[in-house]
Amino acid sequence: MLLHEYGSPSADLVLLQPVDAHDLSLMERELAAIRAQCGDDFRLIAVEVEHWNADLSPWESPAVFGKEGFAGKARDTLESIKPLCADMSKTYLIGGYSLAGLFALWAACETNLFAGVAAASPSVWFPGFADYMKDCPVQCEKVYLSLGDREEKTRNPVMATVAARAREIYEDLCAQGLNCTLEWNEGNHFQNADDRTAKAFVWAIQHCR
Non-local CB neighbours of 194 within 8 Å, separated by 6+ positions: 26, 27, 29, 30, 33
Distances (CA, A) of 97 to 16, 77, 113, 131, 199: 12, 16, 20, 21, 11
pLDDT tens by residue, 172-200: 999 999 999 999 999 999 999 999 999 99
Return the pLDDT at 65: 82
pLDDT tens by residue, 34-53: 999 999 999 999 999 999 99
What's the CATH code, domain 2-208? 3.40.50.1820
Return the pLDDT at 209: 83
Listed by start position, the domains of the chain span: 2-208
The whole model's pTM is what?
A: 0.97
Alpha-carbon span 56 to 136, nearest angstrom: 18
Residues with pLDDT less than 50, the chain: none
